[in-house]
Structure 1
Amino acid sequence: MAAIGPTVGIVGGGVVGLCCALALLDRGHAVSVFERDADYNAASWGNAGHIAVEQVEPLASPAALRSVRKRLFGVGGALALPPSMAAHWLPFAARLVAASTPSRFAAGTAALTPLLAGAMPAWRALVETLGARDLLREDGHVVVWDTPLQAQTGRERWSRTAIGTARIADAEPALLDRLGFLADPVGGAIRFTGSGQIDDLRRLALTLEAAVEARGGRIVRQDVRLADDDGRIVIAGHKVDRVLVTAGVRSRALLEPLGYRVPMIAERGYHIRARADGWPADLPPLVFEDRSMIVTRYADCVQAASFVELGDPDGPPDPRKWARLEHHVRALGLPIEGPFTRWMGARPTLPDYLLAIGRSTRRANLYYAFGHQHLGLTLAPVTAQLVAALMTGEQQPLLRPFDLNRFGKKGRHV
């Protein structure tokens, strides 16, 4: 398609940036995607692969605050607040508490619900467009508990939770039989339907990049700097009409020098991977809720992932996190054998656990889409549709709760 719209420079080539590039190219824009990472180590390509349509309730909530003590890493939980990174997470924690009132939680749930309702249809449309329908699996996922008491508590909690378009039922006996490889009998399990999984994250990355280039877009392996040029944002060394920031956790460093307040933190997650020889090929993702761990079978490997570690995106990883994942694998009797590959990546998380999607009110050519926390993979195609419509002048009322102006201007107390 010949470009008829403005030229767009997209800063950040993760799953959100690449989906936005495709949507804009399909609307006639000329697009360049600037991405410094050529090794596919970002959170977009190391996550659990889960299309989490059920996660309509933001994690900034009264219930989450009440559960902090029992979720801390030191007592066996998944939440890590490293003392060496307190300068990062203490200000974030204060804003998180302020965002976790009942009224703001209800408003956040209402804001996320329509976006997540469109997530699976948007993914279906995207893989169809890519000619790669097998990238998307719609087998739901399974939540498992160690004991009957934990299972009863977990079922009751999920029955009170808003889960959008997903549905829950007790896991069928045939599925429980397939979990016979576990070291101990399952205390209980439920099956979610309506959720999904990406079959291979690396292939997704390569397929998206190839589609961008096939439509005339460019992938530029380069770090970039944004600057203000008489009220317009420019990418130093490149001529574009509009700039779209989709740089995940790096978006803060790009925008705050320009005067925007972006109170985002690196919410670091860890995974281990091993060969998939012993894992059933058609088993949906398993969530071991008592251990805050999700196990996903990809095309050629099995991955166990966990942890919410708040801190510095560039700080050194904590090997204890990987060791605990390996301990869980052994204790559960999972048919996963090393050697394990280890990964740590940073989710881009704002204190209200809502996204930042919109257009700057101060620089008319600046757009942004980041802060997707645990929902980057899930909401990437939906985000792309909204951004593309916004750039073509269509009103997008669904985006009002995600305006970056909700945090005020840099230098002012919020």
Structure 2
Amino acid sequence: MRGLLLGWRQGTPRDKQRQVARRAARRDNRRVIRRRALPMLALAAPAFAQAPAESRIGAIFPASSLLSDEALRGLELAVEERGRPTRLVRGEAGEAAQVLAEARRLVQAERCTLLFGSGNVTSALAALQAVDSLEVPFVELVATAEALLERPSRWLIRPGPRAADFGAVAAGALMRVLPGWLGQPTEALRIALLHEASPSPTSLAESCEARLREAGLTVLERLTHAPRTAEMPALVQRLRTAGASALLHAGSEADAAALLRALAEAPWRPPVIMGLGSAWGLAELARTAGIEGCFVLDVPPVATAEALAPGARPFAELYQRRWGAAPRGGLSLAAYSGARTVLAAPGERLALRQALGAVDQPEGTLPNGWGWRLDERGQNLRAAPVLSQWQAGRPVAVWPEAAAFGPISPP
């Protein structure tokens, strides 16, 4: 009897086969039901229930450069202000080989569809070499050297001015503004150029020299120096002997401070000292004796006329809230202005580059007073430097008139 009961509970082999077949059929039916239900669930779900895809942007900046760090801060503020989820992925810019490797990592491993940089023309050229094969746009926010435009690339976007723009504004200021300020004719100006022997300062000095000579101004000589040179006192004595009445210098903030110290020790000072580039507009120079009254030819500072740059003061307030201090120079404002325009454009990769090429905005549109119109090389034709002067511990725009925040201080 017990054996019969066990056989009834366990079932015959044929019964077991039937049970297995029934279970398999039930599983198949459930799969079919789920597959048919999925499209209906998708249609029923509201659009806002689907999280938007995250946009990934690469940033290649040297960690050790104060100028590049200030530009990066402007980029970060533009990204934080963006209306859709965006992740900014950092890459380190050092030697060219490192920049190439970082650009490839950001695009291939981090899936970035847009790269920003870098404040350094050597890094920018290496990044351009990478993006030509990766086929993503590269936005060089602040480097000015003409070498960037000598290498054709359909992926370059440069919102800021060229070195040639610096030469045009320098010539205009030395011909139309500063002779009257000094109380002497233009013909009396004797101009000397001094610059660091690296790509961006060299490009700025060469551009200024060419435009000054074209304008018929007297250029005594153009001297070079090594980065952080110990020869600054000797160079100052040479300029003093030559009788320079206007000195134009392009170099790092350390070399700018060294030049001012050497002039104080001489003791000699030409009536006009004009710093070329963003190093001369950094807030750190405010602690250097002799900076007051010096001119700076650079991107628009925060103290630019509100009629031209209505976004400068709101940007300074935004920067203060984010970083707990005032902007360290106009470089962050320039980077923020250019990055906002790029990030507002639709599309990715080539579509983004084409969209930015179609943007046509007059001067005074961007927060720092620039406009937007790219040429076929990706250069913004409506970004120009302005002449500022150190007044009460900060650079203040004084020329052209549309940018002037206030008058030029007396000599």
TM-score, length-scaled by structure 1: 0.28
Structure number with greater Rg is 2
More helix by share: 2
Higher relative contact order (CA 8 A, sep 6+): 1
TM-score, length-scaled by structure 2: 0.28
More strand by share: 1
